[in-house]
Structure 1
């Protein structure tokens, strides 16, 4: 990045650029967490890092602003391109979710609300899970940081059910008609897919999406059996519970076993909660047209909603189509505007509770 581009940055933009410039793939968030600590300490805020690496800056808990520190792997040179309102920051995490993370840190300092930066969202949400399993009190409202565009408010995410299917069969000549373990695995998964085969006009958010993520199979080392192992994921819409989907999938199982090791419930928040209303008002005040979104993936909002009964939304600058992409970049003007919206929202919510 040129010295002239760096010199033109505001303090809020400098935090963003610094965080994007620090590699923070899942499991390697410590340096980025330290930069967040330095930011809060420079603004006379209490801040600490817990045993799993989450950054806590507690304050007015009427509102908790939270986003994840980790990114997916990928080396994208950090550059600022363009001029004026068209300036863009390129780099891994600029959209998912370092942009929302930095915006929330700045807004938390400006308004005196609580902040939480969590680790491991891109892998297993271990940071968010650690928080809800600790003795942290439920906040008044949660704003989770993920890219929605500065005018977008995400109210819903599908849930997740993930498991490992394992089957074994006796080895034999391939001319024999009996299924081997590989065919057993394929047959089970075909039945699961058929069970959840959607109407083609049904929105993706409302479907159960079935996806195998890896497969290993073949003759065992001793040559006496055929083995098959398949990793699978099912995305769960709010009309189902995760247990519903698991029961249906298990009901298609004739041969083999499945170990279900991850389950995250779906979440769908009302657009009429105080936090959703505050966002709509703040976006309009900033000259935008609010958009209510439902995402087909899963986020830390699912984890928080499984434990806390407070209103919540997900919000943040950036185009989610650029999540994990090789051309990930964020317009600095959109980042700035999202901070203005977050500050307005926090002020509205803390005034109501004052």
Structure 2
């Protein structure tokens, strides 16, 4: 295959700090805009990193960057980022993050170009399998393609920010639906409910049903359903014959539920209109026992850290891998997840270095 070589990116404040292959790769990737659907330029740079080091690498039909290796462990993270411009630069020190050294600012530095670059370095160092997937921030099309196109590895470490001392064991799932209603047009003085009334009343019932299902649990917590209205539209149709209303909705699914059970809960709230359901991702909770989390905990301790376990309220490709392949899957990567998608997204380079060390040490154990 032909891939373009990394560019000599000029980053303000970076003189003298891009002194390892991992830091250089990270600095090559972060300045390249890679919102979902526009990952090809970043993917090309990532592929060049492997090709320059003698690894087999190709870009598959979905756009995933694949470097096959020892399938005792598959290292995978996503190439895409959310949209947004965070000026790329290196600043010295960061009191809020407790960092004394250089800190790289830029969209994706945390979610998830930092984890992606750390995994690429560890894969080259240890011979582990690697895939950089596309579309994680939207429809997970890269991960969905991957699980259909290759056999299951023995274990998976999915790259997302956890902080270098933490291992993420669980994520909620997600299911989305589009509500739509239509009623005949009529004079505004008439008392009958129109489609917009039906939509708003339906959403109020949905929120009430979700609150009842959650009971006394803290709203938005790992063990709760979260209902979110992503967009809403409505009004008189162009031909004047009807009033229409639509609402795009998303529901986070805790481990105590399934996408099907959440769909049923929402459908029970209908008395007009209908919901067209889209793709879903099931929740996932990994066991802290077993060789995979043990290898990461040992590697964190060897690097001078004290490992902890996390359960996140979001959703990740890790859920799809665990569901489809039925193998141990955990998530790990440098960065403060509170900075995901944020306008001040940034990553201390010392934390990135520690994560590279942890991943390399863990993969060496798993591929031995």
TM-score w.r.t. length of structure 2: 0.92
> Which shifted more, 217-226 or 228-237?
217-226
In the alignment, the residues of structure 2 paired with residue 189 and residue 42 of structure 1 have an alpha-carbon distance, to the nearest angstrom, of 54
> Does structure 2 retain, via aligned residues, the 8 Å contact 1:85–1:332?
no
> Does structure 1 retain, via aligned residues, the 8 Å contact 2:170–2:312?
yes
- 1:303 CA drift (Å): 1.5
Query: 1:87 is paired with a residue of what secondary structure?
Result: strand
- 1:7 CA drift (Å): 6.1
Q: Please name the residue that 1:14 is paired with.
A: 24
Query: 2:15 is paired with a residue of what secondary structure?
Result: helix
- 1:1-354 pair list within 5 angstroms: 1-2=11-12, 5-6=15-16, 8-82=18-92, 85-134=100-149, 136-197=150-211, 198-202=214-218, 204-351=221-368
1:206-247 Cα offsets, whole Å, 9 max, x none, are 111011111111111222221101101111001111111111
1:300-349 Cα offsets, whole Å, 9 max, x none, are 11121220111010100001111111111100000000011101111121
> Does structure 1 retain, via aligned residues, the 8 Å contact 2:235–2:243?
yes
More helix by share: 1
Query: 1:89 is paired with a residue of what secondary structure?
Result: strand
> Does structure 2 retain, via aligned residues, the 8 Å contact 1:156–1:268?
yes
> Does structure 1 retain, via aligned residues, the 8 Å contact 2:217–2:223?
no
Unaligned runs of 5+ in 2: 1-10, 94-98
C-alpha RMSD over aligned residues: 1.5
In the alignment, the residues of structure 1 paired with residue 85 and residue 202 of structure 2 have an alpha-carbon distance, to the nearest angstrom, of 39
> Which shifted more, 21-30 or 3-12?
3-12
> Does structure 2 retain, via aligned residues, the 8 Å contact 1:146–1:316?
yes
> Does structure 2 retain, via aligned residues, the 8 Å contact 1:118–1:127?
yes
Q: Size of the alignment, in residue pairs?
A: 350
In the alignment, the residues of structure 2 paired with residue 299 and residue 207 of structure 1 have an alpha-carbon distance, to the nearest angstrom, of 17
- Aligned structure 1 segments of 4 or more residues deviating by more than 3 angstroms: 199-203
In the alignment, the residues of structure 1 paired with residue 182 and residue 14 of structure 2 have an alpha-carbon distance, to the nearest angstrom, of 63
Change (3 A) 1:345 1:128: same
In the alignment, the residues of structure 2 paired with residue 234 and residue 3 of structure 1 have an alpha-carbon distance, to the nearest angstrom, of 42
TM-score w.r.t. length of structure 1: 0.95
In the alignment, the residues of structure 2 paired with residue 236 and residue 113 of structure 1 have an alpha-carbon distance, to the nearest angstrom, of 32
In the alignment, the residues of structure 2 paired with residue 169 and residue 273 of structure 1 have an alpha-carbon distance, to the nearest angstrom, of 56
